Amino acid sequence: MEKESKIYVAGHRGLVGSAILHNLQEEGYNNIVIRTHRELDLCNQQEVRAFFEKERPEYVFLAAAKVGGILANSTYPADFIYNNLAIQIYAIHNAYLYGVKKLLFLGSSCIYPKFAPQPMKEEYLLTGILEPTNEPYAIAKISGIKMCQAYNRQYGTNFISVMPTNLYGPGDNFDLETSHVLSALIRKFHEAKLSGQPVTVWGTGTPRREFLYVNDLAEACVFLMNCYDGEDIINIGTGLDISIKELAGFISEVIGYRGEIIFDTGKPDGMQRKLLDVTRINSLGWKAKTDLREGIEKTYKWYLSTQK
């Protein structure tokens, strides 16, 4: 990308899109196109086509998606498969029709099989059954990957797909029903510190997850947009995981909560372990920078700023 290239960041108000937008602006890219949901409904075929016809972006970061934690995925499976498929098919197809030079599609680590060996290598895609709690979302994301690859093969486009691990950071969703674990626990521990009530953590606490600070992901996406043109998907993570119980311990320390922690085993655990193999991106020359404690501190600070 040149500094004056026309770059469309789809989903710039979301956790990932806003971090990508910020990173591009910091790096001096000065011709960025954005649209709010109200201005452009990415699930509307006509609107998306009219947008691409008018703006003709050269580069697209496809960070718009319907995302959510384990409960949201099990409660609204139709919303997750419909919205994600719709966003992808219209954006990717129009990117091809209107000559986008390169598109970066954001997938997810939940595309990998439930029983994949850990850490999960890119080649494990489609080698086994998926985790049922987020299968509709995963199927949509797998379709996005396959669309990018099919368009590259048939039409010679340059559409790449990246698979981020579990993300967190400023701008995250802190709604307890729909959020992911890290932001949910920040809120729960913060509120428990104020109320003196115990904290309830879902599941057994034994599942292991990898957490990537969203600014690191944004940096990786811009890096790959500039230097990776391959057909293969690329994992983006830290290469390190911790148990939910350890995460709860970490967060309680950062927040200064010393009360009781209850594990609600009536709630699902989901995948036992979800850790990405990051050999491929590391060998391209990129590594995650932010350590988990520092990232949690920054995210908690941001959360506190929204409470005033």
Binding-site size, ligand GDP (CB under 6 A):
21
Residue 270 interacting with ligand GDP (CB under 6 A): yes
Residue 295 interacting with ligand GDP (CB under 6 A): no
Binding range to ligand GDP, per CB under 6 A, among 39-47, 90-98, 197-205, 286-294: 197-205
- Please indicate whether residue 257 is annotated as part of the active site: no
CB 68, min distance to ligand GDP, A: 8
Residue 244 interacting with ligand GDP (CB under 6 A): yes
CB 70, min distance to ligand GDP, A: 4
Residue 69 interacting with ligand GDP (CB under 6 A): yes
- The DSSP secondary structure of the chain, one letter per residue, reads --TTS-EEEETTTSHHHHHHHHHHHHTT---EE---TTT--TT-HHHHHHHHHHH--SEEEE-------HHHHHH-HHHHHHHHHHHHHHHHHHHHHTT-SEEEEE--GGGS-TT--SSBPGGGTTSSPPPGGGHHHHHHHHHHHHHHHHHHHHH---EEEEEE-EEE-TT----TTTS-HHHHHHHHHHHHHHH-PPEEEES-S--EE-EEEHHHHHHHHHHHHHH---SS-EEES-S--EEHHHHHHHHHHHHT--S-EEEETTS----SEE-B--HHHHHHT------HHHHHHHHHHHHHHHT-
| Window 98-157: residues binding ligand GDP (CB under 6 A) | 110, 134
Residue 189 interacting with ligand GDP (CB under 6 A): no
From residue 168 to residue 187, what is the string marking binding to ligand GDP with x (rule CB under 6 A)? -----------xxx--xx--
Select which of 8, 137, 228, 300 is catalytic: 137
Residue 166 interacting with ligand GDP (CB under 6 A): yes
Q: Taking CB positions, which residue lies at the least distance from ligand GDP?
A: 69
Residue 300 interacting with ligand GDP (CB under 6 A): no
| Footprint on this chain of ligand GDP (rule: CB under 6 A) | 69-70, 110, 134, 166, 179-181, 184-185, 201-203, 207, 209, 244, 267-270, 274
Residues forming the active site: 137
